[in-house]
Amino acid sequence: MKDSDDHNLLVHEELPKEHDDPLVRWLHGMIRGAVRLLAILMFLVILWAVADVVLVMYQRLNEEPYWLLDYNDLFDVFGAFMLVLIAIEIFINIRLYLGSNIIPIQLVVATALMAIARKIIVLDLADVGPEQILAIAAAVAALGGTYWLVARKH
């Protein structure tokens, strides 16, 4: 790593273990503990969500007509898969934060893009108006531009 990269890592450490004030040091430790708890909980959520995907697929495939998924079933399964993938991305964000005390901006933006992609995949156009579609398009454009700028910087 270059010296400037080392400096950037030091500048962006939000919760250093060493601090002059013992109260701030204790608070930082408590927050790091809370982040560890979030990592454990997210792991459990991922396991639960995978079990849910298996259960949903099992139930849908065991209804008549057997071993066939209709249009709505496919959207339910795709939505469940995307939720698991988003949960994994959030877990990775938490793990990276625990490992470095640095918020991985590019990964956070990519996770947000994945969440919007999930929304688009399961979107029922009969339930949304043009304003909502424009808002989703604006969010995708803003997040895509942000991701491009952050990736370009690195």
pLDDT in tens, 70-112: 877 887 888 888 889 889 988 988 888 777 766 678 888 988 9
Cα 40 from Cα 34, distance rounded (Å): 10
Q: Which domain holds residue 75?
A: 3-153
Name residues whose C-beta falls within 8 Å of residue 89's C-beta, 6 or more positions apart in sequence.
107, 110, 111, 114
- Tokens matching residue 87: 């949960």
pTM above 0.85, yes or no: no
Name residues whose C-beta falls within 8 Å of residue 95's C-beta, 6 or more positions apart in sequence.
39
The total number of structural domains in the chain stands at 1
Q: Tell me how far CA of residue 70 lies from CA of 51, 60, 74, in angstroms.
A: 21, 9, 6
- State pLDDT tens for residues 29-77: 888 889 899 999 999 999 999 998 898 888 888 888 888 888 778 878 8
Backbone dihedral region of 67: left (phi > 0), alpha (psi from -120 to 50 degrees) or beta? left
